[in-house]
C-alpha cells in the first residue's frame, strides 16, 4: 500500500491544503512561504504512522486525511465541543474507510492520560536524562537542538525510546489501527540531523545520562557493523558451499553446454565483481585471490569443475549485492561532492567511514567534516541504509547547509537513490535550485483566497 494524497483543512484555523503525491516519479516537493504549514504537515504524517499523537492535540486543524492507492483512506478529525458558551476539551477521532466496508473509528486520549499512574519523579530529572533539554517553566522544556518548547507529554512521547521503561506510555488501540500503521513505513528526516540522543537505556535513570553524539560518528560505527555482519554471512555461506563442493561435483553427471569462451567470460565477470567489492571495502584482497582462476585449456573434466565452482562463487559474492550497490552509490555521490574540498570517502569493516585528504592522504575523523558535508552524508546515508523498501520518506528542507552546487545536483542524486532503495519521497524546500526545471514534481501550498 502507498499514500497517493495528503490533505488538511483548517490548519492553524486558516489553511486548506491538498497534496497529491507523484506516484510514478516517486518524488513530491512541497514549496510555500514560511508559516503555511509545510513542516507541520510532515510532522502530522509522521505523528500518525509513528504513534506520536501530541502533534494532533497541539496544532489547530479541523481535518487531516491520507488517501491510499487501494482507495482506502484514513481521516483524523478534531472537534472542539462547546456547552453553554464554555469550550470543552478537544476530541480527536481516527476513521479508517475501505471500499464497500463499514468505517472503523477510534478516539485516542491525550498523552498525559496515557502516562503510567505509578510515575513519580522530580521534573528536573528529565534535564539529566535527555541532553539538550533545559527546563524553562514548571512543565515546559526547551529542546536546544531544534529550539522547540516541549510540554511534559511531548517530552515523554518524543523521547520514550531513550527513557527508562517506567516512562513508557500505556497504549490501548484497536488491531485495525495497528494494521494501518504497519502497512506503510514512514521515516521523518528533520532539518536538525547532525546530533542524536543515544538510545541506550540506563538501569537507573538518575545515575547517568545518554550522550548527545554526532550522528555522522554513529553512522560510521553502524556501517562498520553492517559490513562485519555481511562478512560473517559470506564466511558461513563459503564454508557451507566448500564443504559440499566434492559431493555436488560428483552428482553433476554431465558438464553444462558451455563453450570455453563463455566460461572464461563468466570468470572475468566474477573477477570484476571481486575487484569492485575490494574497492568499496567489502573484501580484503589477500582473502580473495582464490577467485582468480584462468585455465589455459578447458577439457570436459575441467569444464565440469569450473561450472560448479562458478556457481558457488556467484552464491558467495551475491551476499554483498545489496550493500555493495548502496555503498557504491553513496561513495560515488559523496566523492563527487567532496571533490571541491579535496576529500574522498572509503569504507572499512574496522572504522566504517574513512575520509582522507587527496593531497597528503591524511585520515580525517567524520566529525572533522564541515556541517554541510555532515548534513549531506547523514541525509544520503539515512536514505540508503536506514529506510525500509517501499517506505515514504519525509525530508524537511534538505537545502540546509548545502551550497548552491550541491542543491543543483540534489534532485538528480535523489532520483538515483529512490530507484535503488525503492522508496517514495515527500520533501519541503524553499530552494528553486533544488527544484531546477522539475516543477512538475512540485505542489505549492497557497494562502487564503481573498
pLDDT exceeds 70 at position 303: yes
Per-state percent for the chain, helix, strand, coil, to nearest 5: 45, 25, 35
Share of the chain above pLDDT 70, in %: 82
Q: Cell triple for residue 444?
A: 505549492
- Is the residue at 285 inside a domain? yes
**pLDDT of the residue at 111:** 61
Residues 333 and 435 in one domain: yes
- Kindly state whether residues 237 and 279 are assigned to the same domain: yes
Domain assignment present for 344: yes
Last residue of a domain, one of 258, 293, 320: 320
- Residue 333 shares a structural domain with residue 269: no
Do both 405 and 353 map to the same domain?
yes
Which of 120, 66, 115, 121 has the alpha carbon at shortest distance from 95? 66
Domain co-membership, 336 together with 313: no
Name residues whose C-beta falls within 8 Å of residue 427's C-beta, 6 or more positions apart in sequence. Answer: 27, 28, 29, 30, 394, 395, 396, 398
Give the CB-side neighbour count of residue 386, counting CA atoms within 13 A: 18
The pLDDT tens digits of the residues spanning 265-288 come to 888 899 999 999 999 999 987 655
Write the pLDDT tens digit of every residue in 155-187: 877 776 666 665 655 567 899 999 999 999 999
The pLDDT of residue 444 is: 95
Q: What is the pTM of this model?
A: 0.81
Question: CA–CA separation, 48 vs 56, rounded Å?
Answer: 9
How many domains is the chain built from? 2
Is 378 found in the same domain as 291? no
436 with 362, same domain: the answer is: yes
The pLDDT of residue 204:
42
Same domain as 250, residue 361: no
Co-location of 223 and 313 in the same domain = yes
Q: Please check whether residues 310 and 333 belong to one and the same domain.
A: no
Distance CA 450, CA 439 (A): 25
pLDDT of residue 357: 93
Give the pLDDT band (50/70/90) at residue 205: very low
Say how far apart CA 241 and CA 19 lie, in whole Å: 52
Residue 369 is assigned to a structural domain of this protein: yes
Residue 400's domain spans which residues? Answer: 322-444
* 132 within some domain: no
Same domain, 313 and 327: no
Q: Cα 72 to chain center, whole Å?
A: 25
Map residue 363 onto helix, strand or coil: strand
Judgement on whether residues 274 and 369 belong to the same structural domain of the protein: no
Report the CATH number at residue 349: 3.40.50.300
Mean local confidence (pLDDT), 251-274: 79
**Residue that terminates a domain, selected from 269, 292, 320:** 320
pLDDT per position as a tens digit, 316-366: 999 999 999 999 999 999 999 998 889 999 999 999 999 999 888 899 999
pLDDT of residue 135: 85
Residue 146 CA: distances (Å) to CA of 200, 212, 377, 448: 21, 13, 20, 29
Cell output for 338: 567532496
Amino acid at each position: 500500500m502507498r499514500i497517493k494524497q495528503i490533505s488538511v483543512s483548517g490548519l492553524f484555523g486558516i489553511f486548506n491544503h491538498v497534496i497529491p503525491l507523484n506516484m510514478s516519479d516517486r518524488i513530491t516537493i512541497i514549496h510555500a512561504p514560511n508559516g503555511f504549514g509545510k513542516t507541520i504537515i510532515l510532522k502530522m504524517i509522521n505523528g500518525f504512522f509513528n504513534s506520536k499523537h501530541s502533534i494532533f492535540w497541539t496544532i489547530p486543524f479541523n481535518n487531516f486525511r491520507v488517501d491510499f492507492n487501494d482507495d482506502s483512506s484514513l481521516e483524523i478529525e478534531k472537534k472542539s465541543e462547546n456547552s453553554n458558551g464554555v469550550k470543552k476539551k478537544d476530541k480527536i477521532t481516527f476513521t479508517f474507510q475501505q471500499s464497500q466496508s463499514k468505517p472503523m473509528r477510534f478516539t485516542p486520549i491525550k498523552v498525559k492520560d496515557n502516562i503510567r499512574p505509578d510515575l513519580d519523579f522530580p521534573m528536573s530529572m528529565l534535564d539529566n536524562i535527555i541532553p539538550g533539554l533545559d527546563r524553562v517553566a514548571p512543565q515546559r522544556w526547551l529542546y536546544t537542538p531544534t529550539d522547540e518548547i516541549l510540554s511534559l507529554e511531548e517530552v515523554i512521547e518524543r523521547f520514550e525510546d531513550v527513557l527508562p521503561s517506567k516512562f513508557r506510555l500505556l497504549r490501548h488501540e484497536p488491531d485495525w489501527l495497528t494494521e494501518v500503521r504497519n502497512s506503510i513505513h514512514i521515516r521523518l528526516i528533520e532539518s536538525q540531523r547532525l546530533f542524536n540522543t543515544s538510545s541506550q537505556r540506563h538501569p537507573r535513570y538518575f545515575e547517568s545520562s545518554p550522550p548527545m553524539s554526532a550522528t555522522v560518528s554513529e553512522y560510521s560505527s553502524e556501517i562498520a557493523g553492517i559490513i562485519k555482519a555481511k562478512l560473517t554471512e559470506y564466511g558461513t555461506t563459503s564454508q557451507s558451499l566448500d564443504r559440499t563442493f566434492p559431493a555436488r561435483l560428483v552428482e553433476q553427471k554431465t558438464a553444462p553446454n558451455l563453450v570455453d569462451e563463455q566460461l572464461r567470460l563468466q570468470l572475468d565477470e566474477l573477477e570484476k565483481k571481486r575487484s569492485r567489492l575490494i574497492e568499496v571495502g567489502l573484501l580484503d584482497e589477500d582473502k580473495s585471490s582464490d577467485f582468480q582462476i584462468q585455465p589455459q585449456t578447458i577439457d570436459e573434466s575441467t569444464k565440469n569443475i569450473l561450472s560448479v565452482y562458478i556457481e558457488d562463487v556467484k552464491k558467495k559474492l551475491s551476499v554483498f549485492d545489496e550493500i555493495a550497490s548502496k555503498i557504491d552509490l553513496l561513495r560515488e555521490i559523496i566523492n563527487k561532492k567532496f571533490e571541491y574540498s579535496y576529500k574522498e570517502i572509503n569504507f572499512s569493516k574496522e572504522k566504517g567511514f574513512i575520509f582522507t585528504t587527496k593531497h597528503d592522504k591524511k585520515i580525517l575523523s567524520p566529525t572533522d567534516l564541515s556541517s554541510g558535508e555532515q548534513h549531506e552524508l547523514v541525509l544520503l546515508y539515512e536514505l540508503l541504509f536506514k529506510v525500509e523498501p517501499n517506505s515514504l520518506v519525509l525530508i524537511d528542507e534538505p537545502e540546509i547547509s548545502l551550497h548552491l552546487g550541491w542543491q543543483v545536483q540534489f534532485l538528480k542524486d535523489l532520483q538515483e537513490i529512490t530507484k535503488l532503495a525503492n522508496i517514495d519521497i515527500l520533501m519541503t524546500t524553499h530552494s528553486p535550485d533544488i527544484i531546477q526545471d522539475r516543477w512538475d514534481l512540485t505542489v505549492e501550498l497557497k494562502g487564503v483566497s481573498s
